[in-house]
Structure 1
């Protein structure tokens, strides 16, 4: 679906005591962690607008905590429950350009939904994307102007600022409601899942895509730990 390469991965599935009497809705809790020695945080040089952007910026393409938890991994259920709804398209999704970086770096929007691109910096940015399934765009953006972009088809879209080459963000266009982005603790969660076997896809911009599986019941909380390796 995404076209990323698949590194070697070990997905460990554990089951822990859960929530008896939780009806027919199960829960899945998980964490994405880095295997091996995590690389030191990288810096990228700033070559333009240094008066505002500084002289270097964190690369942020791989953020790993002291406990090896991976931030900004995207997790979705490849085999969602039949009739799984899309998240509401009315929910506002914003992607700002602040401090010469996209904030947040990864956002999720439902297919057919809109991302509002913002510019909070006192300089000119631009937003440039050449997706495979959605409409390409390349728009200059002065401070204070909001540019709405609608994404019709599910895929992961890279966003760049051509004026500031280190700036990258990702728009994940979701096919259904069971998508999540890991936080600094590497965790994700899905609720209201009918009991059954589920296949997960986990994508990271630098580490590629891996798979995992989980068995969800209405008697226990399913727990999955996914390990990703450097490339």
Structure 2
């Protein structure tokens, strides 16, 4: 038997497998939607600085640390005052003031302290557990900051318009959770079920009552 037909069939099978793999990969890329959440306060006004995130067993398996995260101290304030990060992220706390700060947290999610310092600490702080971390300064009592650590790669914060959007979300049923740093201490994030389609947009509205001033 000639080797040419055999080689041709082999090339055909290889080409077919490659093509099938490419089609499957492209289909996987297509199977994702966006989630838009309209956030408002008790008066119905757009709510800035709220955090929305989507939880599921599959989402938990896809979590990856976010690189290059900082929460600075400027003009005796934490900047930003609140942030959201995925589990496993390391955060630097640079002091950009001319006075020293003593950053700490007593929160069960992450207890730590960075004793009196200026500049940028040599080592970041690892946040390896999901939950809320409340920050303070042992020297300047008025300073307060919040870090929400989430066990999902699907999260977003709301701008002044109150519209938060999460892109590239695979289809499925999720817990949509909503958090704001002005919730009372110990209050859980709001929760509702949300089904995300294979393509297009899933929408939800959340009104957050009981926020502190």
Same fold (TM over 0.5): yes
Asked whether the equivalents of residues 124 and 140 of structure 1 are also in contact (C-alpha less than 8 Å), the reply is no
Structure 1 runs, 4 residues or longer, greater than 6 Å off:
none
Superposition RMSD on alpha carbons, in Å? 2.2
Asked whether the equivalents of residues 154 and 175 of structure 1 are also in contact (C-alpha less than 8 Å), the reply is yes
Q: Which has the higher contact order (CA 8 A, sep 6+)?
A: 1
Q: Aligned pair in 2 of structure 1 residues 83, 115: CA closer, same or farther (>3 Å)?
A: closer
Asked whether the equivalents of residues 105 and 133 of structure 2 are also in contact (C-alpha less than 8 Å), the reply is yes
Deviates more, 1:120-129 or 1:28-37: 28-37
Match for 1:85 among 43, 62, 70? Answer: 62
Asked whether the equivalents of residues 64 and 87 of structure 2 are also in contact (C-alpha less than 8 Å), the reply is no
Match for 1:163 among 109, 120, 139? Answer: 139
Q: Does 1:113 align with 2:113?
A: no
Over residues 50-76 of structure 1, what are the superposed CA-to-partner deviations in whole Å (9 max), with x where a residue is unaligned? xxxxxxxxxxxxxxxxxx222222211
Taking the aligned partners of 2:105 and 2:68, their CA distance within structure 1 comes to: 20
What corresponds to 1:12 in structure 2? none
Structure 1: gaps (5+ residues): 1-21, 38-67
User: How many pairs align?
Assistant: 178
Q: Which has the higher helix share?
A: 2
Over residues 165-201 of structure 1, what are the superposed CA-to-partner deviations in whole Å (9 max), with x where a residue is unaligned? 1111112222121122222222222222222332211
What corresponds to 1:189 in structure 2? 165
Alignment map for 1:30-69 (pairs within 5 Å): 30-36=37-43, 68-69=45-46
Q: Aligned pair in 2 of structure 1 residues 107, 83: CA closer, same or farther (>3 Å)?
A: closer
Shift of 1:219: 4.3
Asked whether the equivalents of residues 65 and 88 of structure 2 are also in contact (C-alpha less than 8 Å), the reply is no
Deviates more, 1:79-88 or 1:215-224: 79-88
Q: Does 1:143 align with 2:118?
A: yes
Over residues 63-102 of structure 1, what are the superposed CA-to-partner deviations in whole Å (9 max), with x where a residue is unaligned? xxxxx2222222111326456412344x110000001110
Please tell me whether Structure 1 or Structure 2 has the larger radius of gyration of its CA atoms: 2
What corresponds to 2:207 in structure 1? 227
Q: Does 1:29 align with 2:39?
A: no
Asked whether the equivalents of residues 75 and 201 of structure 1 are also in contact (C-alpha less than 8 Å), the reply is yes
Shift of 1:32: 1.2
Asked whether the equivalents of residues 119 and 141 of structure 1 are also in contact (C-alpha less than 8 Å), the reply is no
What corresponds to 1:172 in structure 2? 148
Asked whether the equivalents of residues 84 and 177 of structure 1 are also in contact (C-alpha less than 8 Å), the reply is no
Q: Aligned pair in 2 of structure 1 residues 83, 129: CA closer, same or farther (>3 Å)?
A: closer
